[in-house]
Chains A and B, each alone.
Chain A
Amino acid sequence: MVVSKRIVLRFPKRIVERPIVCRLVKDYDLEFNILKALVTPEEEGLLVLELSGEQEEYDNGIRYLTKTGVKIQSLSQDVMRNEERCTHCGACLTICPSGAFELDPITRMVNFRNEKCVACGLCIKACPPRAMEVHF
């Protein structure tokens, strides 16, 4: 069974310069798509990946990453909508490149499908009441 998940990887300073992600391809036959990459001034690395492959290989790959000291979080928990601030205006609809916002044609409410979100962050500042929040 092929799985595809979007995950947030945090690389502590001591392993930031080691080649790690390439092993996912070589050793575990996984495919990845980098959605976001960042090395902080403290030299911690952050990588948002869409990772896909056979379930078994995927699990082995994740186990390998954990062993090297990489901290893993699933992405969908990291992009959130502050429901208190969202007015359902719709300003985000045409800004989102991955179609994570959908307009209900009856209620005119905007649904946020975070499984479609690629964490690009374009919606954050395009939202007038600043209802979209990314937590890494």
Chain B
Amino acid sequence: MAKTITEINEKIKRGKAVVVTAEEIIEIAREKGIKKAAQEIDVVTTATFGPMCSSGAYLNIGHSKPRIKLGGGRAYLNDVPVYAGLAAADIFIGASALPDDDPRNKVHPGEFNYGGGHVIEELVAGKDIRLVAITYGTDCYPKKKLETWVNIKDINEAVLFNIRNAYQNYNVAANTSNKTIYTYMGVLKANLGNINYCSAGQLSPLLNDPYYQTIGIGTKIFLGGGIGFVAWQGTQHNPNVPRTEQGVPRGGAGTLRVIGDLKQMNSRWLLGSSMLGYGSTLTVGIGVAIPILSEEILGYTTVTDSEIFAPVVDYSDAYPNMKPDILGEVSYAQLKSGKVTIRGKDVPTASLSSYPKALQIAGILKEWILGGNFQLTEPVAPLPGVESGITFKPLKERPIE
């Protein structure tokens, strides 16, 4: 029955493709069986919508008159420092950058109400952004100071470039200490007062393609409400982790690096966010369409929350101190029930990633494909798989004498 992406694209063009979400496929496969479902279904859409700190955007603001060389100087967007170590008119803003005068955690927990993620949201929303730069003058770039409003519609390029997004599974966070802690996994109450998790589970892109058989470099995706592409594996991409019999990683594993034109995205799907006591970030919406090229590929998309397990990590000790110990392993079905049992205690659970929004993204991507507006792509190279031998290394610290 093996189909090709070209054949599926032909069907999309003719409006004949059968497209379902990664949630819908579960029931369909249960009713019809994998074999029949694989014959009938052409595409399964997956999605995730959660805070992703390794997100950012590069901009080319155009040349001022007289010219200014931002590279080597300092530049700010709405007081948030941006990276100016490139050529004259190029800057990069990271989601977790903070204004120099933000008090951080001086009064703990800091609020982090405005950072790079918020600048990106406002830029995409079409708001004017204040650019301030100070640099040195040269014969060809004499201007040393710049203060101007910039708007996404006027600048040459604005490109979202997230070096690590869409984690394939993730830690579940708990706190065994006797005080509340404030982490990138949210507010964690003392003495196992609550548990936070952050994955779309059965809807998450890489959990539906656990061995990266269809998602690869060059894959076209839904990114922030527009079109984007997988540019590379994300940083910390780590395929060599323990997996279940069905191949599902039992913890954080693969990641995606994604890129796309910010000018066609929507701030509904790129939301500046603040993690109390931790920092600012960007909540990113990503959707990936999986072409059903074989029964095996369809089989992987039928994964359910009860088959995906994640380690419960103590963020008061094991996580900060790089200890490997875990408090246990729980499934996303258990997490979504509202409570899990850890060390004999019923602990209430909450999510940081939005399942309803992920479901909406999977639905939008499905509509795009059904409407003939989104053709699937053949990856130009695969993401490194289990055979790559990649391992996730800690920092090798060497004292400087």
Instruction: List residues of chain A with CB under 8 Å of any chain B CB.
Output: 85, 87-95, 103, 105, 107-109, 125-126, 128-130
Beyond A103-B338, A129-B273, whether A89 also contacts B50 by CB under 8 A is yes
- Interchain CB contact under 8 A, A91 and B271: no
Q: Which of A87, A105, A126 is close to B186, meaning CB atoms less than 8 Å apart?
A: A126
Residues of B within 8 A of A107 (CB): 356
- Interchain CB contact under 8 A, A94 and B351: no
Beyond A90-B351, A94-B348, A125-B276, whether A85 also contacts B187 by CB under 8 A is no
Chain A: CB-nearest residue to B193: A94
Q: How far is the CA of A95 from the CA of B283 in the complex (A)?
A: 20
B281 within 8 A of partner (CB): yes
Q: How far is the CA of A95 from the CA of B274 in the complex (A)?
A: 16
Q: How far is the CA of A87 from the CA of B351 in the complex (A)?
A: 11
- Interchain CB contact under 8 A, A89 and B353: yes
Q: How far is the CA of A109 from the CA of B276 in the complex (A)?
A: 22
Find residues 81-140 in chain B having any chain A CB closer than 8 Å to their own CB: 109, 111, 113
Task: Report A129 CB to chain B, min CB distance, Å.
Answer: 5
Task: Report B193 CB to chain A, min CB distance, Å.
Answer: 7
Chain A: CB-nearest residue to B339: A94
- Interchain CB contact under 8 A, A94 and B194: yes
- Beyond known contacts A93-B348, A126-B276, A128-B275: 12 more, CB 8 A cutoff: A85-B271, A87-B357, A89-B50, A89-B357, A90-B352, A94-B193, A94-B194, A94-B350, A95-B187, A128-B186, A129-B283, A130-B274
- Interchain CB contact under 8 A, B283 and A125: no
Residues of B within 8 A of A87 (CB): 49, 271, 283, 354, 357
B234 within 8 A of partner (CB): no
Q: How far is the CA of A87 from the CA of B355 in the complex (A)?
A: 9
Residues of B within 8 A of A89 (CB): 50, 350-354, 357
Q: How far is the CA of A94 from the CA of B173 in the complex (A)?
A: 13
Instruction: List residues of chain B with CB under 8 Å of any chain A CB.
Output: 49-51, 109, 111, 113, 186-187, 189, 193-196, 271-276, 281, 283, 336, 338, 348-357, 359
Q: Which of B195, B274, B348, B357 is close to A128, meaning CB atoms less than 8 Å apart?
A: B274
Residues of B within 8 A of A85 (CB): 271
Task: Report A107 CB to chain B, min CB distance, Å.
Answer: 6
Q: How far is the CA of A130 from the CA of B354 in the complex (A)?
A: 14
- Interchain CB contact under 8 A, A128 and B350: no
Q: Can you list 22 pairs linking A and B with CB atoms under 8 Å apart?
A: A87-B283, A87-B354, A87-B357, A88-B357, A89-B350, A89-B352, A89-B353, A90-B351, A91-B196, A91-B350, A91-B352, A92-B350, A94-B189, A94-B194, A94-B195, A94-B196, A94-B348, A107-B356, A126-B186, A128-B51, A129-B283, A130-B113
- Interchain CB contact under 8 A, A108 and B51: no
- Interchain CB contact under 8 A, B356 and A129: no
Q: How far is the CA of A105 from the CA of B349 in the complex (A)?
A: 13
Chain B: CB-nearest residue to A125: B276
Beyond A103-B338, A126-B276, whether A90 also contacts B350 by CB under 8 A is yes
Task: Report B379 CB to chain A, min CB distance, Å.
Answer: 30
Chain A: CB-nearest residue to B111: A125
Q: How far is the CA of A87 from the CA of B187 in the complex (A)?
A: 17
Q: Which 7 A-B pairs have the closest CB atoms?
A: A94-B194, A128-B273, A87-B354, A89-B354, A90-B351, A108-B355, A93-B350
Residues of A within 8 A of B338 (CB): 103, 105
Residues of B within 8 A of A109 (CB): 356
Chain A: CB-nearest residue to B114: A130
Q: Which of B49, B272, B349 is close to A94, meaning CB atoms less than 8 Å apart?
A: B349
Q: How far is the CA of A126 from the CA of B274 in the complex (A)?
A: 8
Task: Report B339 CB to chain A, min CB distance, Å.
Answer: 10
Residues of B within 8 A of A94 (CB): 189, 193-196, 348-350
Residues of A within 8 A of B187 (CB): 91, 95, 126
Q: How far is the CA of A95 from the CA of B194 in the complex (A)?
A: 8
Chain B: CB-nearest residue to A126: B187
Q: How far is the CA of A125 from the CA of B357 in the complex (A)?
A: 21
Residues of A within 8 A of B113 (CB): 130
Residues of B within 8 A of A103 (CB): 338
Q: How far is the CA of A32 from the CA of B51 in the complex (A)?
A: 41
Residues of A within 8 A of B354 (CB): 87-90
Q: How far is the CA of A90 from the CA of B336 in the complex (A)?
A: 11
Chain B: CB-nearest residue to A107: B356
Q: How far is the CA of A103 from the CA of B336 in the complex (A)?
A: 10
Task: Report A69 CB to chain B, min CB distance, Å.
Answer: 35
Residues of A within 8 A of B111 (CB): 125
Chain B: CB-nearest residue to A89: B354
Chain B: CB-nearest residue to A103: B338
